Amino acid sequence: MPRKARLPSPKNALPSGRANNFFWNTLSIYIMTTVIKQDDLIQSIADAIQFISYYHPADYIQHLARAYEREQSAAAKDAIAQILTNSRMCAEGRRPICQDTGIVNVFLKVGMDVRFELSCTLQEACDEGVRRGYLDPDNKLRASVLADPIFDRKNTKDNTPCILHVELVPGNTVDVQVASKGGGSENKSKFAMLNPSDSIVDWVLKTVPLMGAGWCPPGMLGIGVGGTAEKAMLMAKQSLMEDIDMYELLARGPQNKLEELRIELYEKVNALGIGAQGLGGLTTVLDIKINTYPTHAASKPIAMIPNCAATRHVHFVLDGSGVANLTPPSLSDWPDVHWAPDYNASKQVNLDTLTKEEVASWKPGQTLLLNGKMLTGRDAAHKRIQDMLAKGEPLPVDFTNRVIYYVGPVDPVREEVVGPAGPTTATRMDKFTDMMLEKTGLIAMIGKAERGPVAIESIKNHRSAYLMAVGGSAYLVSKAIRGAKVVGFEDLGMEAIYEFDVKDMPVTVAVDSSGTSVHTTGPREWQAKIGIIPVPA
């Protein structure tokens, strides 16, 4: 709230003339100035980070529920059911929706009549909010930020720094948007400098399939067109902070050319048949947002950034009255969807007695329930294994006839054996796949989304298999983990090698021993069924 001014005492003579005008102008500014205290800003950001870690925005839940109702693909419907069930569990248990609790983006629109009472820089204040939010002992979040992106790549341990954007605007409040952006979706960001005559629709339809499913659809696409390269990227990111309203837009109809373009892109992207988790289905995107800005006559910059199934952002306003008050969604916003293992349709697998022959018998699209002990490992662990093998050094664990899960879990709290532990994008491990299958005795892998041609060829050559767990269901997956311990590379933190003891962990055979990938066959089948975009011969 505006700070109250102390008016001059009647005993004191007021200035006259030019000095009098200066006095009253200064007093007017002083009266209208809003003072934002340092701890109010810090605590508001910390609270926002905790809030978005376990609450989906209500608009996302409502649109995903509609997608679930209309979905005809059994595999996609099952994936959406897991995401919805996970979302409600997180809201009730106040634990992260996804194990990747993101890199924090803070957008501040600072009113010109605002004054900050800070003993540090604005960046440092926002970083302290991030630090408090991520280290909260009741819901400690995974630290994923590395201080040096090129060389040492050492974890900062508190997920700082955040990415801060500040805009000066008229007014006496601070408008704040806080978002946590996961690496899986951020890595699928795309940018192009189109020719002025090039079609935006054609570029989007060509580009979306190249993104694969590592961004965890169904989600949202943010598009920025115009300005310069960096402006287009910023607009695309900012558009993801907007409410999902495609259902309402379709109901009332478009009112301008931009809304017409949004609808056209929404319908045509979904007609690609990519579907939930890339398994093939009716819904790939829940909404598409487009922001524009004037640009050079020779240019048509375009950026596209996806938001994943762990859509996390919140908006609030600081007016000087204290810490922001965040209102959680009502549990009635969630549909009556409660995923549970289907013991009739799924095959139970004992990992402790698993053989190469059994792995080779699995069929594409088959659902499995895994039981027993598996190992984990992701980017940093695979790189270290590669270096150790090259030097002839012994590995800290024997991978013979074992299954590896690509995951970096959240630390446990209270009675948990492990925190949320959903899969990470498998394609980042593609270049290590042949090494692992050839030199370590590994017989199968679990991750998120599709595998690339190099990995598929190696899987085929070694008669191995790749299993897919649903991204966006990390807390649900963690409930299948009955034991967890670090068995190698403890210094890597969340990227260490764990041994998980699981019971009925749900996965789908995504690439079988013959090299057939459901991320190829599924979308192709559903693109043909939808029948809007011809399937290439």
pTM: 0.93
Enumerate the domain spans of the chain.
Answer: 1-32, 35-182+310-339, 196-308, 347-522
Burial 369-402 (b: 16+ CB within 10 A, else e): bbbbebbbbbbbbbebbeeebeeeeeebbebebb
Residue 467 and residue 445 in contact, taking contact as beta carbons nearer than 8 Å: yes
Could you confirm whether domain 347-522 is CATH 3.30.365.10?
no
Tokens encoding 485: 């311990």
The one-letter amino acid at 306: P
pLDDT in tens, 520-531: 999 999 999 999
User: Can you give the C-alpha Rg of the chain in angstroms?
Assistant: 26
pLDDT in tens, 108-153: 999 999 999 999 999 999 999 999 999 999 999 999 999 999 999 9
Q: For residues 180 and 159, give the distance between their C-alpha atoms in angstroms, rounded to a whole number.
A: 11
Three-state SS sequence of 365-421 = CCEEEEEEEEEECCHHHHHHHHHHHHHCCCCCCCCCCCEEECCCCCCCCCCCCCCCC
- List the single range of 11-25, 269-283, 322-336 with lowest mean pLDDT: 11-25
pLDDT in tens, 273-301: 999 999 999 999 999 999 999 999 999 99
pLDDT in tens, 387-420: 999 999 999 999 999 999 999 999 999 999 999 9
The rounded mean pLDDT for the chain is: 94
The pLDDT of residue 26 is 53
Q: For residues 258 and 239, give the distance between their C-alpha atoms in angstroms, rounded to a whole number.
A: 13
| Helix, strand or coil, per DSSP, at residue 227 | strand
Which residue in the block uniquely carries the two structure tokens 């957008």?
107
| Helix, strand or coil, per DSSP, at residue 77 | helix
